[in-house]
Amino acid sequence: MSISRSRVTHLSCPRCGRDHDHRLPQNLCPCGSPLLVEYDLDGLSGQASRGSIASGPPNMWRYADLLPVADPARAVSLGEGLTPLLPAGELGRSIGLPGLMVKDEGPNPTGTFKARGASCGVTMAVQLGIRKVALPTAGNAGGAWACYGAAAGLDVLVAIPADAPVVNRLECELYGADVRLVDGLISDAGTLVAQEVERHGWFDVSTLKEPYRIEGKKTLGFEIAEQLGWRMPDAIVYPAGGGVGIIGIWRAVQQLRAIGWMQGDGPRLIVTQAQGCAPIVEAFEHGWEESRPWPDARTFAHGLRVPKALGDFLVLRAIRETGGTAIAVSDQEIARAMVDLGRSGISACPEGAATLAAASRLRERGDLNEDDRVVLINTGTSLKYPNAMARALAPDGVGEPAPPI
Ligand SMILES: *Cc1c(COP(=O)(O)O)cnc(C)c1O
Ligand SMILES: [Zn+2]
């Protein structure tokens, strides 16, 4: 299959600097680092225009010129992206940030921003002739890949810890994935995937182990720019698990700057994590280049329960290079923020709600100013989290979770 129409030149390793061939399926660099997708941006700046974006499709594939797909007509799309950027001035004023906005990812297919990564990842798997993909999940990634895989006619194997939320297992089954329940942690599910890859030729699409999820999530950054008239906000607050989304937004900012589409300064990139699992915050505070594995990771914001992310060093670079920061918030603050967002008409998952709790603390601490325009990334809908909703509504925010649905 031809990939001549994409502007991808190669894949690069941000750790050892080695280049890799984008025309072949690739996983990690032999040095263990995730790979980044590189484009001929000089060629692009002469040809594409911001005006042509506006007349593109009403989904994330409107940015096809800056995505790896060879033929945009063959993108595996279910309408992901171009989600609302909601003004939240009233809520913002209550925490001293009248310029607050929420990028609401709940309307995406499968209810979270994982749809962006899966749409791009599945599109590229098809383009590269891959027929079967496998990944471990303890949350929303499995459902997104199972759904897009089903739409593209791929076989999808999902390994899930037996104690993962029931709703995440059921959605994978609904989309027809080969679901393997693992009696153990997400790392044990990862081991099962590695065995299946080794023995039965599945292609490994675990978080950051293939290069194209980042590219899908990158569109979040393009959209924020477009929705604000190609001027970035002062800060973007992101709830980091594996950090794919924040690495993507960082790439988007770099690329928009390279092609001259962004007015003014780039945004400060701010990461929040839960106090019960905050390896990136710890590394940021200590000035480390990468994080240390977080022992006994705990939080009801499941998407943030990543004890050691493969791309942690990239997340830390993104924060430091943009003058951002990192902050941990408690489960109780997250629960409170879920309710506050709800009362403002925004259905927030716990991970998304963490960004409001973080913004509030950063304002108190003086890291955010009253006139800052701040975008919170609400990564998904509350509807996939019945237990978290029940917990947030308990009087002290730490009440007994409802029985699993
Ligand atoms: C996966 C997930 C996250 C974390 O995303 P990363 O890209 O792994 O940092 C945050 N929120 C939700 C709802 C998720 O599903
Ligand atoms: Zn390398």
- The confidence band for 363, taking pLDDT boundaries of 50, 70 and 90, is very high
- The confidence band for 63, taking pLDDT boundaries of 50, 70 and 90, is very high
**The pLDDT of residue 1:** 34
Centre of ligand 1 from the C-alpha of residue 241, in Å: 5
Ligand 1 binding pocket mutation candidate from 116, 220, 244 (most atoms within 8 A of CB) = 244
| Residue 139 Cβ contacting ligand 1 at under 6 Å | yes
Nearest to 281 by CA among 302, 301, 309, 249: 309
Digit-coded pLDDT (tens) for 118-174: 999 999 999 999 999 999 999 999 999 999 999 999 999 999 999 999 999 999 999
pLDDT over 70 at 402, yes or no: no
Is position 368 within any domain? yes
Tell me the CB-side half-sphere exposure of residue 180, using CA atoms within 13 A. 19
**The pLDDT of residue 52:** 84
State the average pLDDT over residues 196-209: 97
| Residue 216 Cβ contacting ligand 1 at under 6 Å | no
Is position 13 within any domain? no
**The pLDDT of residue 290:** 98
Whose Cα sits closest to atom 9 in ligand 1? 243
Is position 72 within any domain? no
Query: The domain containing residue 105 runs over which residues?
Result: 85-112+213-393
Integer Cα distance of 246 and 166 in angstroms: 27
| H or E element in which residue 103 lies | strand 100-104
Is position 185 within any domain? no
| H or E element in which residue 80 lies | none
Ligand 1 binding pocket mutation candidate from 135, 137, 140 (most atoms within 8 A of CB) = 140
Strand order in the sheet with 178-182: 178-182, 155-161, 132-136, 203-204
Atom index in ligand 1 nearest the CA of residue 217 equals 7
**The pLDDT of residue 2:** 35
| Residue 267 Cβ contacting ligand 1 at under 6 Å | no
Residue 32: how many other CB atoms lie within 10 Å = 10
Cβ-contact 99, 374 below 8 angstroms: yes
| Residue 196 Cβ contacting ligand 1 at under 6 Å | no
Bridge partners (DSSP) of residue 112 are 380
**The pLDDT of residue 132:** 98
CATH of the domain at 273: 3.40.50.1100
Nearest to 138 by CA among 80, 198, 193: 193
Atom index in ligand 1 nearest the CA of residue 105 equals 13
Digit-coded pLDDT (tens) for 89-114: 999 999 999 999 999 999 999 999 99
Per cent of the chain over pLDDT 90 is: 90
* Region of poorest pLDDT, from 4-13, 142-151, 264-273: 4-13
- The confidence band for 397, taking pLDDT boundaries of 50, 70 and 90, is low
**The pLDDT of residue 259:** 93
**The pLDDT of residue 398:** 52
Across the chain, what does the average pLDDT equal? Answer: 94
Whose Cα sits closest to atom 8 in ligand 1? 242
| Residue 197 Cβ contacting ligand 1 at under 6 Å | no
Is position 350 within any domain? yes
- The confidence band for 46, taking pLDDT boundaries of 50, 70 and 90, is low
**The pLDDT of residue 349:** 98
Is position 21 within any domain? no
pLDDT over 50 at 3, yes or no: no
Cβ-contact 337, 348 below 8 angstroms: yes
Is position 165 within any domain? no
Is position 251 within any domain? yes
40 φ/ψ angles, rounded to the nearest 5 degrees: -80, 85
pLDDT over 50 at 15, yes or no: yes
Q: Compute the chain's Rg from CA coordinates.
A: 20
402 vs 35, residue with greater confidence: 35
Centre of ligand 1 from the C-alpha of residue 239, in Å: 7
Cβ-contact 234, 211 below 8 angstroms: no
| Residue 349 Cβ contacting ligand 1 at under 6 Å | yes
User: How many independent structural domains does the chain possess?
Assistant: 1
- The confidence band for 387, taking pLDDT boundaries of 50, 70 and 90, is very high
| Residue 351 Cβ contacting ligand 1 at under 6 Å | yes
Residue 20: how many other CB atoms lie within 10 Å = 19
pLDDT over 80 at 362, yes or no: yes
**The pLDDT of residue 81:** 98
